[in-house]
A and B are shown apart, each in its own frame.
Chain A
């Protein structure tokens, strides 16, 4: 089926304005927030209802046309990168909050609803949706499910997988799966967990029931400055060892402190080698106790300065710096490349030292922001795409960082997903048998491999090629032998 025939087929159930096919209309969809990878799709469709989605999938299945789902396009791993011969399925128009049930503590929403919009609507009832990725003002809840998004409060409140109850999912074969329940569990396999973080590879989520929590009465934030990153890392371990689970625990290194302070004037200490933000929430009395205990521990861990945000405005200002780390990187460098490795916290200092060495080796600066509570690193590699070869250098540097994370017993991605970006490193984290099982899971839902094909799980031949490259690091032996 060519483009025109497909448009004609879609026109039977979609209005003309819901089908985009001119190059200039397709352009905004050519990439997600990982703009290094770009590809125009054949067609973009913008359905408004589940029935329209079902019809789109049916058409694509019959004609074996790949389908790539997209929410707000804020993904950082190229998971929503279009397929050249495929349909890009935008879920942005399914943007209604269908129901808020304050008594049950749930909200039923469509996939295109923005993450923050849920909390805004729930605020009327004194409730909120806990996972708060930094892009929450723009990112969609459907995208959050696809990536299992976290945020700065997930040590205490969990990731998307811990905060959703139910999904409606359309398979490419036309089945509607009701996964999860209004109850706290459901019979059979935990498909809710399997769908969460599956990067649009298994089905199209058409409705989500999320859990809402009562807003904490009191929130307090402490900022501690350290003259040594290692001490800051040890302070994090000490807080947790003392039996405290802070609502948020975030760390920034010196280069990040400088970049964000220039940008948002958060009041950060420019002399510090690391800043730790540590938040406590709950009932007024317990927060007061916990903050006191946290201060004592930070003091004992060698903090050179500890400040308690005196009011809500100051708390917001302290956070503003951390939340502006990415735009701040964009200000100090023409381009930046954001990584997402996770490590056991105890290896933090060692991993940061290795990143510093690599930074010197590649001649590229690297800012480090860190969800310290749960061991999720976000190194931001600064580069200039206009300098020939710098993008490739940044990518090679990033790949090395992920390999270090895997060697340290961590994972190549904590919350941004594999997408198109980290396929090679998947070959390091999983062996052939494990990757085969991933492919088998996909086949159970999508036997023809039409949903977001080529993402998230590398094919075996790719890993064989990457393995060869990886071992030899450019010094390939016997280059005359043909390989694949």
Chain B
């Protein structure tokens, strides 16, 4: 019987022959993410049934799984061994898969404190645009043999290859978590967030919205206790629900951003940037390095992108009118040249998620 990767190879070969763009799709939880032009005339390469944990030994701190493995299933397995994905990936829906998580390269509330998905990717097995199965990296913590193709795949939105298998470093779950709440203005909240980063405190997330600053502490009981005493603030009860609503965008702020005639902008900027004077509502994460804005749909994208660039970063249109505005921040001509060449090398026929990342390739 034909294996699933063999079927993928056939699909790719047929796509090359018919010049038929493919849309790589796991659970479809991030269908909204990326340029919509990619959806036109493409047929789906479905990875959602390519499931299963290939290797997991808790004492090695490494898990290897197939790309279609549901994220929730993977996290449940890790949880049973008191471990976790330290980058706290967004799910957006219960269908989210490991492959989509790595391809989108999105990380959750913990990112500013424990690292991003790319920091935990150790190895990948992938299928490139010529139907070759390739393995890069491995299942060990340190590996500098050859270029770091595994991390190159992370966040490439499937434009360079179909992820088949991914090895990730995992971390032990903290013994204790506690979330503190403070009443604060935007400048005050940013100042507290910076203080939390400058001192060696066991912080694992920060979020500010509607004059409320939330700080999550994670670690040994003694560490959390001491940090709480130093920082003050009120402990909140439903902390897991709160952080999940921020991670998965089910919080009312994000719900509004997804609604009609509104746009949700993600500005990733230098964390010490003073409050940005942009119209609309704001939610701040990552110690000031991530600023979400819900604006009216007709707000000028160029203005938002200029603010982000001036603050040392970039702006992504998460939800909104994506047919009129490119989703991802434009690249400099020099960087675009390198991107196009890399795309050309991995997918010369241009069949893997064309235009999803940038309309130029």
Contacts and interface: CB of A to CB of B under 8 A. Distances in A.
**Is the interface on chain B under 10, 10 to 19, 20 to 34, or 35 or more residues?**
35 or more
A475 to B, nearest CB: 28
Nearest to A212: B198
Interface string B294-338: 000000000000000001111010000000000011011011011
Interface in A406-429: 409-418, 422, 426, 429
Nearest to B344: A444
Contacts of A437: 128, 134, 149, 345-346
Contacts of B270: 104, 181-183
A335 to B, nearest CB: 24
A423 to B, nearest CB: 11
Interface stretch (B89-97, B140-148, B234-242): B140-148
Given A188-B335, A346-B59, A444-B341, A434 B198 contact: no
Contact of A411 (B111, B142, B201, B345): B142
B26 to A, nearest CB: 20
Contacts of B338: 171, 177, 189, 191, 444-445
Interface string B114-139: 01101100000000100010111011
Interface in A176-197: 176-179, 181-191, 193-194, 196-197
B85 to A, nearest CB: 15
A147 B136 CA distance: 17
A240 B135 CA distance: 27
Contacts of B136: 434
Nearest to A243: B172
Contacts of A285: 220, 222-223, 225-226
Contacts of B139: 344, 409
A412 B144 CA distance: 8
A344 B56 CA distance: 12
Contact of A190 (B118, B142, B172, B316): B118
A155 interface: yes
B149 to A, nearest CB: 7
A61 interface: no
B227 A197 contact: no
B335 to A, nearest CB: 6
Contact of B155 (A190, A343, A376, A434): A190
B173 interface: yes
Contact of A214 (B155, B175, B198, B357): B198
For B156, B172, B328, which residue has the most chain A Cβ atoms within 10 angstroms?
A: B172
Contacts of A18: none
A238 B328 CA distance: 45
A418 B144 contact: yes
A186 B266 CA distance: 12
B223 A375 contact: no
B147 A194 contact: yes
Nearest to B146: A438
A101 B119 CA distance: 23
B342 A444 contact: yes
A285 B175 CA distance: 14
Interface in A299-337: none
Given A158-B119, A342-B140, A346-B57, A194 B334 contact: no
A99 interface: no
Given A217-B200, A286-B202, A185 B142 contact: no
Contacts of B61: 240
A295 interface: no
B112 interface: yes
For B62, B112, B198, B219, which residue has the most chain A Cβ atoms within 10 angstroms?
A: B198
Interface in B140-170: 140-149, 151-152, 154-156, 160
B63 interface: no
A422 B105 CA distance: 32
A150 interface: yes
B261 interface: no
Contacts of A373: 141
Contacts of B146: 418, 426, 429-430, 434-435, 438, 456-457
A187 B345 contact: no
Nearest to A239: B59
Contact of A161 (B148, B289, B316, B331): B148
Interface in A217-249: 217, 237-238, 240-241, 243-245
A289 interface: yes
B275 interface: no
B214 interface: no
A103 interface: yes
Contacts of B112: 184
Interface string B210-251: 000000000111110111000000000000000000000000
A109 interface: no
Interface string A421-462: 010001001100111011011111100000000001100000
A197 B357 contact: no
Contacts of B311: 183
29 contacts: A105-B198, A159-B142, A161-B119, A161-B148, A162-B119, A181-B313, A183-B269, A183-B311, A185-B105, A185-B268, A186-B313, A188-B339, A189-B156, A191-B335, A194-B151, A282-B200, A285-B223, A286-B219, A289-B222, A344-B139, A374-B142, A409-B139, A410-B138, A415-B144, A426-B146, A429-B146, A434-B146, A437-B149, A437-B345
Q: List 9 A-B pairs, minimum CB-CB distance, nearest first.
A: A182-B312, A193-B151, A183-B313, A243-B172, A414-B142, A285-B222, A374-B141, A286-B223, A444-B341
Given A187-B331, A441-B345, 17 more contacts: A175-B334, A177-B338, A184-B112, A184-B268, A185-B105, A185-B155, A241-B58, A282-B223, A283-B226, A343-B140, A345-B60, A346-B57, A371-B142, A374-B140, A414-B142, A414-B144, A416-B144
Interface of B: 57-62, 82-83, 105, 111-112, 115-116, 118-119, 128, 132, 134-136, 138-149, 151-152, 154-156, 160, 171-173, 175, 194, 197-202, 219-223, 225-227, 268-272, 286, 289-290, 311-314, 316, 328-329, 331-332, 334-335, 337-339, 341-342, 344-346, 357-358
